[in-house]
Amino acid sequence: MFKALMVRKDEETGKTSAAVEEIGLEDLPQAEVTVSVEYSTVNYKDGLCIGPGGGLVRKYPHVPGIDFAGTVEASDDDRYKPGDKVVLTGWRVGEAHYGGYSQKARVKADWLVPLPEGLDTRQAMAVGTAGFTAMLAVMALEDHGIKPGPVLVTGAAGGVGSVATAILANLGHKVAAVTGRPEQAAYLESLGATQIVAREEINETVKRPLESETWGGCVDAVGGAMLARVLGQMEYGASVAAVGLAGGANLPATVIPFLLRGVNLLGIDSVMQPYDNRVRAWQRIAKDLPMDKLDAMVTPATLADLPQLGADILKGQVKGRVVVDVA
């Protein structure tokens, strides 16, 4: 028997509740690789899956946790053998499949990535889906050319934003960090931000489709009115990597920045990302994310803390990255 965070749904009221339970290997879904999970983490999507489901959870009871890192315990696939260190993000694990909030997980070999050299399992989950996605966003900006102006990071004190800020600053870019939490300014500066932009300065509905050309690139975790506004502030030919919707899924924008300034809007998906690009992103993380900066982002947690943390992240109240020690 081992511990897992189990979410159950009351069929009468439709309400969900999450608690740590003891389960057995027979409770896990069938798949090729059994992993002894060491660490997981808390992403925005986890908040939905621990709580109301957000349309992501397919059936109950359910074990959330959209990512994990650990050691292979048993494998029916030649690519993995007992003792291998692995990391998993995406593939709807923790949504449609049992996830990482469990001391053991059983998953498809295709979904795993060998732990990159230079990272341990705890550091891999300090990065987690949020940080992995931040790296994908930076890679997409690089592929399209980052312009000279500061790179804007929205939702900067959150998980995606913190990792994007640290990576971009380490790569030598000036980083402007948008936050709704002015008390996190010193934290963002410690990650390498050179400019703090108040959320309300940039959160208003677009009034003029083009404003002065200010940003050389953008990693956007917020979406909604903020993304619409940012599009009109990009330098000529600059790109915005659209990662998240913490501020809304709508996009009340005009096409003018695309047509008159050649601005690019790049979509970033971490869930179905092809294997080769996953490996490339994890290698870049090991090389380009300073580990002291990563440590400064981390709040440690246990399985028992997850119901509260899930609610907190949905309210935008989690700073940086949470690392869940599932032991």
- Helix (H, G, I), strand (E, B), or coil: what is residue 89? strand
Of 323, 272, 326, 270, nearest in space to 299 by CA:
323
Is the preceding peptide bond at 148 cis, omega within 30 degrees of 0? no
Q: What angle do CA 125, 126, 128 make, to 5 degrees?
A: 50
Beta bridge partners of 323: 41, 300
263 lines the binding site for ligand NDP (CB under 6 A): no
User: Are residues 248 and 185 in contact, defined by beta-carbon separation less than 8 angstroms?
Assistant: no
The reply on whether position 244 binds ligand NDP by CB under 6 A is: yes
Which of the stretches 7-15, 22-30, 43-51, 257-265 binds ligand NDP when contact is defined by CB under 6 A? 43-51
Residue 10 beta carbon to ligand NDP: minimum distance, rounded to whole angstroms: 26
Piece in contact with ligand NDP (CB under 6 A), picked from 79-87, 158-166, 207-215, 296-304:
158-166
Q: Contact at 8 Å (CB) between 157 and 317?
A: no
Which residues from 281-310 bind ligand NDP, rule CB under 6 A? none
CB of 35 to ligand NDP, least distance (A): 21
User: CB 250: neighbour CB atoms within 10 A?
Assistant: 12
Nearer of residues 63 and 160 to ligand NDP, judged by Cβ:
160
The DSSP annotation for 210-266 comes to -----BSEEEES-BHHHHHHHHTTBPTT-EEEE---TTBS-----SHHHHHH--EEE
Q: Of the candidates 16, 40, 43, 75, which one interacts with ligand NDP according to CB under 6 A? A: 43
Q: Which stretch binds ligand NDP (CB under 6 A): 57-65, 142-150, 208-216, 267-275?
A: 267-275
Binding of residue 51 to ligand NDP (CB under 6 A): no
d(CA 238, CA 265): 9
Residues 101-140 that bind ligand NDP (CB under 6 A): 129-130, 133
- Is the Cβ–Cβ distance between 67 and 88 less than 8 Å? yes
16 binds ligand NDP (CB under 6 A): no
Contact range with ligand NDP by CB under 6 A, out of 102-110, 253-261, 276-284, 313-321: 313-321
Q: Please identify which residue in 64, 65, 70, 159 interacts with ligand NDP, judged by CB under 6 A.
A: 159
The torsion region of residue 168 among left (phi > 0), alpha (psi -120 to 50) and beta comes to alpha
Question: Is residue 53 within the footprint of ligand NDP (CB under 6 A)?
Answer: no
Closest separation in Å from C-beta 229 to ligand NDP = 11
Binding of ligand NDP by 233 (CB under 6 A): no
Q: How far is the CB of 137 from ligand NDP (least distance, A)?
A: 8
268 part of the interface to ligand NDP, by CB under 6 A: yes
Neighbours of 33 (CB within 10 A): 25
* 160 touches ligand NDP by CB under 6 A: yes
Of residues 171, 152, 170, the one with CA closest to residue 161: 152
* Residues of the shown chain interacting with ligand NDP in the complex, contacts defined by CB under 6 A: 43-45, 129-130, 133, 155-161, 179-181, 199, 221-222, 226, 243-247, 268-271, 313, 316, 318
